[in-house]
Amino acid sequence: MTTEERRAFGRRLAAERGAVQMTQRELAERVYDALPDVQRPDLDTLEGYVKRWEAGRAGIGRRYRRALADALGLDEAFLCEGQPSAPADETDDERRQLLACLGVLGIEAAVAGEALEPIRQALSNALPGGLQGHVVADWEEVAFEHGHAFLTTAPEVLLPHLAHDLVKLQRTIRTVGGEGLRQSLCAPAGKLAALIAMAVATLGQARQARDWWKTARHTADASTDRDLKIWVRGYEAMSALYSGRPPALVLRLADEAIAIAGASPGGAVLEAMAGRAQVLAMLGRAAEAEATINAMRDRFARLPHTTADERLSTGAWPETALRHTAAFTYTYTRNAAEAERAQSAALTLYPADMRRQRAQIELLRATCLIQGGDIATGIAHASRTMESLNRPQRTTTVQRGAQMVLNAVPRSQMKQPSVHEYREILALPGAHSLQDGA
C-alpha cells in the first residue's frame, strides 16, 4: 500500500468503527475472535495494530483485512478499497414509482430538483473525508426539525415533506458504503417513518398508520439506538390508543417499551408509560392508572428541563406532556380535583401556537364540567373549542377528545338542543360509539 492508500484506509476504518460506537480495544477484541487460533497475536498487540492502521502508519495483510471486515460487519472490498457494498441499487421502475408517489402528494418540485442533486452530491463527496463524517448528523437534524414542526403544523401539510425526505434518506442508505454507517442511518429513518405514522393516524388513515408503525418499529430495531426503539413503541402505543385500536395492543406496546428501557435513565420511556396510564384509566383500572402517573412523576423529576416544542425529541419529555397525561387520566378516573390541577397547569405551559394540544385540554375541561353535572356549560365550552380550530387542525386526536365530551352526557340529556347543535358542529357519529369500539 502507498502512503496515501494507508491513510485512506485508516480514515475509512476509523469512520466505520465510530459509526458503530466501538472503541479501538473493542474492535481489537472482535478481530481477535475473527482470527484463526494459529499465530494469533494477543489483544494488546492487536489494539496497537488498530491504532497504527487508523493513523495510516502501517499496511495491512489479507488475513487482517478479512478479520477486520468480519469484525465490523462490512464488505472487505469497501473497507480496504472504498468500493461501496450497499444494497441493490434502486431500479428505474422503483425510482419512477417513488417520484410518482411524491407527485400525488404534491411534491412536484422533487422531480425538478433531481437535476441539482448530482451537483450537490459531487460537492459533498469532494470535501475532505467525503460525506461519511456528516451524513448521520445531517439526517438526525432533518428528523428533529420534522418532529418540531409536527406539533404546530397541520398533518396534511407536513406529510408530503416527510415523504420527500424519507425517499431521499432511503437513497442515501442504499448508496453509502459500509454496514455500520447504514445501520446508524436507520435511526433518523425510523424517526421519519414514525412521524409519517403519526401524521396518517391523525388524518384518520388507520390501516396505513398501522403499516407505517410496523415499518418504523422494524427500522428502529435495525439501528443501534436503544432510546429510539423505546420511543417508537411508546408513540405507537399512544397513537393506537387515540386511533381506537384494542386496549390489549396498547398495553403490549407500552409494556414492551418499558421492558426494553429497564432501569435506564432518560425520557424515552415516558411516552410508553403515558399510554399505559391512559389506557388503564379507560379500562376503569383507576388505581393502576394513578400509580403509573406517580411513577412517571418520579422519573420525570430526574430529567433535565425541556421545553414544550421538544416533545418529539427522542430523549426529551417536557412538563406539558406530563400534565397532559395526568389531565387525561384523572378526567377518565373522575378525580375532579387532580384533573382540574393538571388541566390548568397544561394550559399555562402550552404555547399559543400549539392549538391542537390546547384544544385537547379544553375538551377535557368540558368533559369534567359535564361529569360534574353542568351539561350546558360543558357543551358550550366544547363547542367554542371546536369552532376555534380550522378543518386541518381537527385531527382524529382532537375529534376523539370531542367525542369524549359527548360520551360524558347522560343518555337522558342527549336530546337537549345544545347537545344536538354540538353534534352538528362535529358531524360525528352517535355518542358512545368511539368508546365502545376502543
Q: Residue 73 — very low, low, confident or very high, per pLDDT cuts 50/70/90?
A: low
Spatial contact of 232 and 423, defined as CB atoms under 8 Å apart:
no
∠ Cα 45 47 48 (to 5°): 65
Residue-level pLDDT at 19: 67
- pLDDT for the residue numbered 85: 44
Residues 269 and 258: beta-carbon distance below 8 Å: yes
Q: What's the pLDDT score for residue 432?
A: 33
Q: Is there a domain that residue 148 lies in?
A: yes
Kindly report, residue by residue over 329-381, the tens digit of the pLDDT. 999 999 999 999 999 999 999 999 999 999 999 999 999 999 999 999 999 99
Q: Of 165, 193, 221, which closes a domain?
A: 221
pTM: 0.71
Rounded to whole angstroms, the Cα distance separating 385 from 390 reads 11
- Candidates 267, 391, 281, 385; CA nearest to 325 is 281
Task: Over range 74-99, report the average pLDDT.
Answer: 60
Residue 347 located in a structural domain:
no
Which of 81, 112, 143 is a domain's end point?
81
Regarding whether 246 and 316 lie in a shared domain, the answer is yes
Q: Which residue has the higher pLDDT, 202 or 42?
A: 202
Give the model's confidence band at 219: pLDDT under 50 very low, under 70 low, under 90 confident, else very high.
very high
Q: Is residue 345 part of a domain?
A: no
pLDDT tens digits, 319-336: 999 999 999 999 999 999
- Cα 198 to its chain centre, rounded Å, is 9
Say whether both 119 and 184 belong to one domain.
yes
Domain boundary among 170, 205, 221: 221
Domain-located, residue 336: no
Return d(Cα 290, Cα 199) in angstroms, integer. 29
Map residue 41 onto helix, strand or coil.
Answer: coil
Q: How confident is the model at residue 110 (pLDDT cuts 50, 70, 90)?
A: very low
- Looking at the structure of the chain, the number of domains it has is 4
pLDDT in tens, 132-179: 567 888 999 999 999 999 999 999 899 989 998 998 898 888 877 677
Query: Do 138 and 70 fall within a single domain?
Result: no
> Could you tell me if 303 and 236 lie in one domain?
yes
Between the alpha carbon of residue 433 and those of residues 266, 370, 382, 385, 400, the distances in Å are: 38, 18, 18, 21, 11
Q: Is residue 163 located within the same domain as residue 274?
A: no
Report the distance separating Cα 375 and Cα 419, nearest Å: 9
**Are residues 308 and 421 both part of a single domain?**
no
Range of the domain at 323: 225-329
For residues 35-64, average pLDDT: 82
Question: Residue 45: pLDDT above 70?
Answer: yes
Cα first-last separation, the chain: 66
Domain assignment of residue 342, yes or no = no
Answer whether residue 322 is part of any domain: yes
**Helix, strand or coil, per DSSP, at residue 370:** helix
Residue 31: which of 4, 3, 12, 53 has the closest Cα? Answer: 53
